[in-house]
């Protein structure tokens, strides 16, 4: 009579927040659309569309320290590649598969990640976590977010028009049909997202800065442009003045205890 013992190594979960301080870095590894990661002429043999990502910059030191097999990156939503993630950062969890070491000095690893990222990405508040927190993180993807967008208008704008935007975009539901820019990878649906508050400041004759506190999942660029009528209402529609988003920043991922914070 013989018995076999099977050893299962549970994943190690490390949670924290990240800030993305530069534009044009994706949150997760973006495989080349031509070779799907194998490496080709289009991607220069890297197998990737972008040389680095938040996921890779944050995960590498932890994977090496834990001597794990691979990592999975979980986050509460994601920002556009050309948007920065500022404020206190976006909550995330790194899941390390089959770690050989579980007792890590997270303070030292936090410093190592930030040094390795060279000012492009910063992580903070690293702590050990669990699978349950990953589930809660995913449920929180629709939590409130705060954005700042620089807008360029086709025609000159007045202070009265900016006050009109604040009045007409605060406390309303926005209807958004799947944006044209993501239609190739997302179902063509109409989604409703709530805007809690909008504040607008004039920057120049044809430019303004708008801060939006809204339900997660709102397409902010399309809120500005109107996306050929697929987002209603929009800045372009309300002012009858074609508007274009120039720069977008995520200022805050608002957790439950922060839900009463107002745009500043």
Residue 259: which pLDDT band, with cuts at 50, 70 and 90? very low
User: What pLDDT score was predicted for residue 42?
Assistant: 85
Greater confidence (216 vs 7) lies with: 216
Beta strands per DSSP E along 54-159: 70-75, 84-97, 121-128, 144-153
Q: What is the DSSP letter of 77?
A: S
Query: What is the helix, strand, coil percentage profile of the chain, to 5?
Result: 25, 35, 40
Per-residue 3-state assignment (H helix, E strand, C coil) for 134-177 = HHHHHHHHHCEEEEEEEEEECCCCCHHHHHHHHHHHCCEEEEEE
DSSP annotation of 38 reads S
**Residue 157 Ramachandran class (φ > 0 left, ψ -120 to 50 alpha, else beta):** beta
- 38-52, 161-175, 218-232: the lowest-pLDDT one: 38-52
- Nearest Cα residue to 113 out of 63, 59, 67, 70: 59
What does residue 33 show for φ and ψ, rounded to 5 degrees?
-70, -20
Q: Which residues pair with 127 in a beta bridge?
A: 15
What is the per-residue pLDDT for 3? 72
Residues 118-177: pLDDT tens digits?
Answer: 999 999 999 999 999 999 888 877 789 999 999 999 999 999 999 999 999 999 999 999
Mean pLDDT, all residues of the chain = 92
Using the 8-state DSSP alphabet, how is residue 261 labeled? P
pLDDT in tens, 163-195: 999 999 999 999 999 999 999 888 999 999 999
Nearest in space to 127 (alpha carbons), one of 99, 101, 97, 107: 107
Residue 153 has a pLDDT of: 98
The reported pLDDT for the residue numbered 120 is: 97
> Is 80 part of the annotated catalytic residue set?
yes
Give residue 258's pLDDT band: very low, low, confident or very high (50, 70, 90).
very low
- The one catalytic residue among 80, 82, 152, 256: 80
Q: Which of 216, 238, 68, 75 is nearest to 147 (CA)?
A: 216
Taking phi over 0 as left and psi of -120 to 50 as alpha, with beta for the rest, 33 belongs to alpha
Predicted local confidence at residue 31, as pLDDT: 85
* Paired tokens of 250: 């995520």
Q: How many angstroms separate the CA atoms of 20 and 264, rounded?
A: 21
Average pLDDT on 216-242 reads 97
The number of beta carbons lying within 10 Å of the beta carbon of residue 16 is 22
Residue-wise burial string across 60-73, b where 16 or more C-beta atoms lie within 10 A, e elsewhere: bbbbebbebeebeb
- Where do the domains of the chain lie, and which CATH numbers do they carry? 12-140 (3.30.70.2510), 143-258 (3.30.70.3190)
* pLDDT band for position 246 (cuts 50, 70, 90): very high
Query: What letter would DSSP give residue 122?
Result: E
pLDDT of 261 strictly over 70? no
- Structure confidence at residue 167 (pLDDT): 97
Query: In the predicted model, what is the mean pLDDT of residues 61-71?
Result: 97
């Amino acid at each position: 009579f013989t018995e076999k013992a099977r050893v299962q190594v549970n994943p190690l979960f490390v949670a924290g927040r990240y800030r993305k301080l530069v534009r044009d870095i994706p949150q997760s590894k973006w495989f080349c659309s031509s070779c799907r990661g194998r490496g080709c002429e289009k991607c220069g043999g890297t197998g990737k569309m972008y040389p680095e990502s938040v996921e890779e910059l944050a995960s590498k030191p932890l994977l090496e320290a834990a001597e794990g097999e691979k990592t999975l990156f979980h986050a509460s939503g994601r920002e556009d590649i050309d948007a920065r993630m500022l404020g206190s950062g976006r909550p995330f969890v790194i899941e390390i598969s089959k770690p050989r070491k579980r007792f890590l000095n997270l303070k030292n690893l936090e410093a190592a990640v930030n040094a390795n990222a060279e000012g492009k990405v910063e992580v903070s508040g690293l702590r050990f976590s669990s699978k349950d927190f990953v589930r809660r993180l995913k449920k929180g993807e629709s939590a409130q977010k705060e954005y700042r967008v620089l807008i360029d208008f086709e025609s000159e704008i007045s202070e009265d028009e900016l006050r009109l935007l604040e009045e007409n975009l605060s406390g309303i539901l926005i209807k958004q049909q799947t944006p044209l820019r993501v239609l190739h990878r997302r179902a063509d649906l109409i989604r409703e997202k709530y805007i809690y508050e909008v504040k607008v400041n004039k920057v120049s004759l044809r430019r303004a800065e708008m801060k939006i506190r809204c339900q997660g999942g709102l397409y902010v660029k399309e809120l500005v442009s109107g996306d050929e009528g697929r987002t209603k209402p929009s800045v372009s529609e309300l002012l009858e003045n074609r508007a274009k988003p120039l720069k977008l920043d995520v200022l805050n991922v608002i957790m439950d205890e922060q839900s009463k914070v107002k745009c500043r």
